Amino acid sequence: MFDAAIDFLFHFRRRGLLPDVLTCNFLFNRLVEHGHFDKALATYEQLKRFGFTPNCYTYAIVIKALCKKGDLKQPLCVFEEMERLGVVPHSFCYAAYIEGLCNNHRSDLGYEVLQAFRKGNAPLEVYAYTALVRGFCNEMKLDEAQGVFDEMQRQGVVPDLYVYSALIHGYCKSRNLIKALALHDEMVSRGMFLDGVAYNIVFHALCKLGKVEDAIEMLEDMKRKRVGLDIKHYTTLINGYCLQGDLVNAFGVFGEMNEKGFKPDVVTYNVLVAGLARNGPAHEVVKLLEYMESHGVKPNSTTHKMVIEGLCSGGKVLEAEAYFKCLEDKSVEIYSAMVNGYCEVDLVEKSYEIFLKLSNQGDMAKEASCFKLLTKLCTAGNIEKAVMMLERMFLSNVEPSKIMYSKVLAALCQTGDMKNARSLFDFFIRRGLKPDVVTYTIMINSYCRMNCLQDAHDLFLDMKRRGIKPDVITYTVLLDGSLKAKLRRHLSPLGIGKTAPSNISTILRDMEQMEINPDVVCYTVLIDGQMKTDNFQQVVSLFDKMIDSGLEPDTVTYTALVSGLCNRGHMEKAVILLNEMSLKGMTPDVHIISALKRGIIKARKVKFRK
């Protein structure tokens, strides 16, 4: 079809005629929409050689085609060509490039491009912002998406239905349903009406939060506005009632659904089975399964999984075990359900036994089940079995996720087992996985706590060599370790103690070079450390810097200051700070009260001696 259209255009050219720009744009756009990016670009270049003059919409289509084929640099040459030929880019051109970057998972770069375009007074309309919001939401960067949403309003760009829908959908995906519903309410207050997709998103969120009455009201609103209802809406509503434990209404909707001519499918039955398993008697679950089969819907592995997990969640562990045993064909999903079920009721040893049994058969539980069990083992302090779990996964050629490594690593660090923590950390790297800033900071913090400052410093340098930028928490941990080492030397009769590889001023300079500003916690650590080594002048300087940078001291900061002043007999200054706390609505904690008592007693003794 497209080949014939292109031949027809070139036939025009052979007769000395050139198709108009609207015809060419239509063809280019259709080619791009059907995935023929190279053909669209080749035809465009050929027509240009014949004297075709593109307009700004043509350039927007070309930018879209380049981005869709993954070429994210060439669009910049298109903008340069437009500038050279005196063609003023329309907002579509900018939006096409920003959307292309976002669709290629480069929303961060898309945002930088938007900022650059905006500084150049480029005409940016709502679609460019919509593309960014959707892009950040798809990458699960909700803070950035919200930032773009707020920024567009500051720039006087009014969010439309599509921006709201993208952000609502993003918050639903991240399980922040309350925020999603707050946005929905804001949207409605602005007089915007939901489309079918947005209705489904919000409806699902309401049911998940147990706001079933609101969901029913929305269902009626959907009927009034002739938004097509389907089996998914009824299933979602049934799930909402089940999550509330309201089986009466759940079965009521199930009956209404049948009356309306919607035949329940396996998903509907699974939702109802799960609700009944959690909130009803076990024998009723069996009856429902029999009813389900009698109506031509066969239970699948998900059905069995939901029965087992539902029974365990409802405290009916014996019934879950009996159901598990009666199943002849036990898939990995069924075993994983039993692992989840035991974890749900804190029967971690039994869960681990199921994991081992499946592993001995040459299979491996689902990743989510492994993570749940691993988390439970680490929380219970059973690190040895958690490490064995990782080893079993290796033997089964299943690569544990980065978060699993981090979970076990954090547990080893928590217990002070730095030898095994470092072995796991090094193994983690050898497997080709790149530790993130959180993993490095956990290790550095543990080395500092164990007074292994050289190891902490070496790991910090390794982190930077690998191109991983330390954050303010990493620097705070290093500063805390160095300050405590300084305090140990200060308190030692001979001034003996481990010297920190980096002194405080070096770390602070490094922070400044990396453009990382200290936060309240970082300043508090510095103030506390300097106070304990009697460097009072430095404490005052740090406190002033903190205030000047716009940071507000919290209770911990005041505790460090007041305690230090009391211990050194500066009671008047301590009382001034205490009054300042009260004026800010902060209540002194037990540490401040104890420090005040000690300070008062100490002051009285000094007075008595005089």
Amino acid, single-letter form, for residue 560: A
Distances 345 to 50, 312, 313 between C-alpha atoms, Å: 74, 7, 7
- In sign, the C-alpha dihedral spanning 524, 525, 529, 530 is negative
Distances 605 to 566, 599, 600 between C-alpha atoms, Å: 14, 10, 9
Q: What is the DSSP letter of 228?
A: P
Same domain, yes or no: 505 and 579: no
Q: Which helix (H) or strand (E) holds 528?
A: helix 520-532
The pLDDT, as a whole number, for residue 608 is 38
Tokens of 504: 């405080």
Distance CA 174, CA 180 (A): 10
The pLDDT, as a whole number, for residue 73 is 85
Amino acid, single-letter form, for residue 182: A
Same domain, yes or no: 531 and 609: yes
Domain assignment present for residue 530? The answer is: yes
Domain assignment present for residue 289? The answer is: yes
Tokens of 564: 């230090």
- Runs of H (alpha helix) within 176-211: 177-189, 196-208
Tokens of 381: 């302090």
Question: Region 560-589: what's the mean pLDDT?
Answer: 80
Interval 33-47: pLDDT, tens: 888 888 888 877 877
Domain assignment present for residue 188? The answer is: no
Average pLDDT, the chain: 83
Question: Region 335-348: what's the mean pLDDT?
Answer: 93
Are 372 and 356 in contact by the 8 Å Cβ rule? The answer is no
CA dihedral 409, 413, 418, 420 (to 10 degrees): -30
Q: What is the count of structural domains for the chain?
A: 4
Domain assignment present for residue 93? The answer is: no
Domain containing 419: what range?
A: 346-433
Task: Please provide the distance, in angstroms rounded to a whole number, between the alpha carbons at the two ends of the chain.
Answer: 106
* pLDDT reading at 138 higher than 80: yes
Domain assignment present for residue 35? The answer is: no
Are 365 and 334 in contact by the 8 Å Cβ rule? The answer is no
Confidence of residue 341 (pLDDT cuts 50, 70, 90): very high
Distance CA 204, CA 240 (A): 8
The residue among 153, 154, 237 whose CA lies nearest residue 187 is 153
Domain assignment present for residue 30? The answer is: no
Are 399 and 431 in contact by the 8 Å Cβ rule? The answer is yes
Confidence of residue 14 (pLDDT cuts 50, 70, 90): low
Same domain, yes or no: 533 and 610: yes
Same domain, yes or no: 398 and 456: no
Domain boundary among 329, 354, 386: 329
Domain CATH number, residue 546: 1.25.40.10
Question: Region 504-510: what's the mean pLDDT?
Answer: 87
Distance CA 178, CA 170 (A): 12
131-145 burial, b at 16+ Cβ within 10 Å, e below that, comes to: bbbbbbbbbebbebb
Confidence of residue 607 (pLDDT cuts 50, 70, 90): very low
Same domain, yes or no: 245 and 315: yes
Interval 235-260: pLDDT, tens: 888 888 887 888 998 899 899 888 88
Q: What is the DSSP letter of 72?
A: -
Same domain, yes or no: 564 and 501: no
* pLDDT reading at 312 higher than 60: yes
- Runs of H (alpha helix) within 327-433: 332-344, 348-360, 367-379, 383-395, 402-414, 418-430
Confidence of residue 266 (pLDDT cuts 50, 70, 90): very high
* pLDDT reading at 544 higher than 80: yes
Distance CA 472, CA 216 (A): 47
Same domain, yes or no: 296 and 371: no
Domain assignment present for residue 546? The answer is: yes
Same domain, yes or no: 548 and 606: yes
Same domain, yes or no: 595 and 531: yes
The residue among 231, 235, 199 whose CA lies nearest residue 218 is 199
The residue among 326, 321, 367 whose CA lies nearest residue 342 is 321
Same domain, yes or no: 421 and 462: no
Distance CA 55, CA 49 (A): 15
Same domain, yes or no: 601 and 535: yes
Domain boundary among 465, 488, 516: 516
Confidence of residue 609 (pLDDT cuts 50, 70, 90): very low
The pLDDT, as a whole number, for residue 610 is 42
Domain CATH number, residue 399: 1.25.40
The pLDDT, as a whole number, for residue 352 is 94
Q: Which residue has the tokens 């106070």?
A: 531
Same domain, yes or no: 320 and 267: yes
Domain assignment present for residue 575? The answer is: yes
Burial of 430 (0-12, 13-18, 19+ CB in 10 A): exposed
Confidence of residue 488 (pLDDT cuts 50, 70, 90): confident
The Cα angle at residue 241 between residues 240 and 242, in degrees rounded to 5: 90
